[in-house]
Amino acid sequence: MSNINNYGVDMNKKTLTELSFSAVKELNDEVAGTCSGGRVNIYEGINFQGRGITFSRGDGNLVNNNFNNVTSSIIITGNERWRFYKNANFRGPFITLGPGRYRTLARGVNNSISSLRRLS
């Protein structure tokens, strides 16, 4: 048996994918989004002006954050895409946006977002 750092890991006839380490854990969506830099900033004014709020996972009802139907610009960082819904609880018409800076939103989307979620 070969020990790595006294953890008693048996490397004999095993590939790295077959090994399991108790120190390695699966990350939940929020932690993974934060670690990967996957965040979205939404702003009430065009050109990222006015109040803003940041999400790393999403929100099913922007009323709770006093941000319902006021989003006019968006910044998405990381490599994730985000989906923005007209209605609360991820319902109704939606648009999907990838990483970037959206200084203003199209008619029908501007001031009409009620929920959002990060896509994997």
pLDDT at 53 over 80: yes
In a domain, 54, yes or no: yes
Give the mean model confidence (pLDDT) for residues 52-59: 96
In a domain, 91, yes or no: yes
In a domain, 64, yes or no: yes
How high is the pLDDT of residue 82? 97
The dihedral over CA atoms of 62, 120, 103, 85, expressed in degrees to the nearest 10, equals -40
Q: How far is CA 112 from CA 49, 65, 86, in A?
A: 17, 15, 6
Within 10 angstroms of residue 68's Cβ, the number of other Cβ atoms is: 17
Q: What total of structural domains would you count in the chain?
A: 1
CATH of the domain at 75: 2.60.20.10
Give the mean model confidence (pLDDT) for residues 113-118: 97
Q: The domain containing residue 55 runs over which residues?
A: 30-119
pLDDT by residue (tens digit) across 73-96?
999 999 999 999 999 999 999 999
Please tell me the distance from the alpha carbon of residue 71 to that of residue 85, in angstroms, as a whole number.
11
pLDDT at 113 over 60: yes
In a domain, 6, yes or no: no
More confident residue, 109 or 7: 109
